Amino acid sequence: MSDFFFSAIDVMASLFLLAVGLFVFVLIAFYISDVTQNKHAIRKNYPVIGRFRYFFERQGEFFRQYFFAMDREEMPFNRAERSWVYKAAKNVDRTTAFGSTQSLDSAGTIMFMNCAFPTLEEEAIEPEPLVLGPFCRHPYLAKRVFNISGMSFGALSKNAVLALSKGAKQAGCWMNTGEGGLSEYHRAGGADLVFQIGTAKYGVRNDAGMLSDEKLREIAAIEQVKMFEIKMSQGAKPGKGGMLPGHKVTPEIAAIRGIPEGKDSISPNGHPEIKSAADLLDMVAHVRDITGKPTGFKAVIGSAGWLVDLVNEIQKRGLASAPDFITIDSADGGTGAAPQPLMDSVGLPLKESLPLVASLLEKHQMRDRIRLIASGKLIVPTKVAWAIALGADFVVSARGHMLSLGCIQALQCNKGTCPTGITSHHPKLMKGLDVTDKTARVANYNQYIHYGIGLIAHSCGVSNIRSLNRSHVRIVQEDGLSQSLDEMYADYQ
């Protein structure tokens, strides 16, 4: 009996050791698989452990209603929005079943008015390219409605910028450099570029930190650079300059920006030479004259009196003096780092600022001269089409394209610890972002945004997205009933 007892213990011990061995073998196999694959940055940067993210993500579909936020509750982007971007980027099925999780009773809900006689497939046409800068020596013919907004090398890793640049080229859209200057990674993909001139004049500054005409000419000589954007302010931090922590100011970034290595890079909160609408037009004219390329400005709209001064000044000087475009950033725009009071409470959201500017330009017969570019939380087709209907000629997005790179909204952009390697310069984290794979995802996402806005346009009975206007959209009000954009913005006319 005792021999049998000890024999059973030996068998159990052997089975236990075998199980432990198999477990260790599986862990090693998972580890090797994770560190050698290039599809998932989380798994590459956090082998084995990173797999739990997908497990919990899948389980969340069943337990979300008890323990987690619902599909439409999270901020700044909810799960439904992020899920659509991920699916579009991966080129997988984007359809849903059983009914929408979007409430049609919540105030602010966007509803497009479908036509009884929708545009047939053979009647649908691609939006025509639009010319920016008709009075320039080198006008720009922009082909795509949806483009990549400003993101600096420094705020983003080189792998992220490379993937965006190459993805933009594949998609045929433009890419804005952000205020951090022009890097080789922006140029690597061959995409059309918009060079942003921030308040610190990174990349085109002299030793005193002011605008250098010589450096402007050098940038303008690069064929890829199609336009110049003077950044007045951005939605996440109106009245505050850009902030790049010193640990992100590597020797390479310092050389590109023309700043000291390893020190915090904090831009002025405004351009010292721009104190009025007249000064702004002077700056636009100067940059355009030096470069010969379309020049405009980016601003979050708050007080609107200066806009009236701007159009009055243009009328005095003539239409040729007007900025070639205005990029309107919403108060809910994003950034890697900003003071919370500014991010939460300053500036107008796009739903007020965009129709205000569009109507003002229309009133003064400048709508065809000055192109409007909308920016701010426009990452899904519905929001992009809504902005076009409100008056935008183009829409740009930074965070949408970041999500297409694999961003998981970890909210660590300012800490250098981004788990996907998008906003981190740590070699271990950056290696998880495979440029080849993410290039395809950026291009896919941009393509399906255009496909989605086309679906909406055709459902409304128009041949292309640029034919949408305020009459095609209704917005749910506080009483649960909807009102057309025409009625909502009647006072803007």
Which one has a higher pLDDT value, 42 or 73? Answer: 42
357 within 8 A of 326, measured Cβ to Cβ? yes
pLDDT band for position 69 (cuts 50, 70, 90): low
* The pair of three-digit structure tokens given for residue 33, joined into one six-digit string: 């698989």
CA 189 – CA 166 distance, rounded (Å): 4
pTM, to two decimals = 0.85
235 within 8 A of 347, measured Cβ to Cβ? yes
Q: Please report the pLDDT score of residue 45 as a whole number.
A: 87
Q: How far is CA 369 from CA 311, 347, 350, in A?
A: 12, 26, 21
Q: Please report the pLDDT score of residue 344 as a whole number.
A: 55
Q: Please report the pLDDT score of residue 63 as a whole number.
A: 55
User: Considering the chain, what percentage of its residues have pLDDT values greater than 90?
Assistant: 46
Instruction: Using CA atoms of 226, 227, 233, 235 in order, give the dihedral in degrees to the nearest 10.
Output: -50
Q: Domain boundaries in the chain?
A: 2-68, 130-492
Which one has a higher pLDDT value, 206 or 289? Answer: 289
User: Under CATH, which number does the domain 130-492 receive?
Assistant: 3.20.20.70
The 10 Å Cβ neighbour count of residue 213 is 14
3-state secondary structure the chain: CHHHHHHHHHHHHHHHHHHHHHHHHHHHHHHHHHHHCCCCHHHHHCCCCCHHHHHHHHHHHHHHHHHCCCCCCCCCCCHHHHHHHHHHHHCCCCCCCCCCCCCCCCCCCEEECCCCCCCCHHHCCCCCCEEECCCCCCCEEECCCEEECCCCECCECHHHHHHHHHHHHHHCCEEECCCCCCCHHHHHCCCEEEEEECCCCCCCECCCCCECHHHHHHHHCCCCEEEEEEECCCCCCCCCCCEECHHHCCHHHHHHHCCCCCCCEECCCCCCCCCCHHHHHHHHHHHHHHHCCCEEEEEECCCCHHHHHHHHHHHHHCHHHCCCEEEEECCCCCCCCCCHHHHHHCCCCHHHHHHHHHHHHHHCCCCCCCEEEEECCCCCHHHHHHHHHHCCCEEEECHHHHHHHCCCCCCCCCCCCCCCCCCCCCHHHHCCCCHHHHHHHHHHHHHHHHHHHHHHHHHCCCCCHHHCCHHHEEEECCCCCEEEHHHHCHHHC
**How does pLDDT run across 420-457, given as a tens digit for each residue?**
888 887 788 888 888 999 999 999 999 999 999 999 99
* The pair of three-digit structure tokens given for residue 329, joined into one six-digit string: 């950033």
**How does pLDDT run across 387-396, given as a tens digit for each residue?**
999 999 999 9
**How does pLDDT run across 1-10, given as a tens digit for each residue?**
555 555 667 6
**How does pLDDT run across 315-352, given as a tens digit for each residue?**
999 999 999 999 999 877 666 555 666 555 567 889 98
CA 447 – CA 428 distance, rounded (Å): 31
- List phi, psi (to 5°) of 234: -135, 155
CA 322 – CA 208 distance, rounded (Å): 29
Q: Determine the angle formed by the axes of helices 381-390 and 435-459, rounding to 10 degrees.
A: 50
Nearest to 159 by CA among 445, 418, 446: 418
Segment 30-47 shows an average pLDDT of 85
Nearest to 339 by CA among 435, 392, 266, 397: 266
User: Considering the chain, what percentage of its residues have pLDDT values greater than 70?
Assistant: 87
CA 390 – CA 469 distance, rounded (Å): 6
**How does pLDDT run across 103-130, given as a tens digit for each residue?**
777 888 899 999 998 888 777 788 889 9
Segment 479-492 shows an average pLDDT of 82
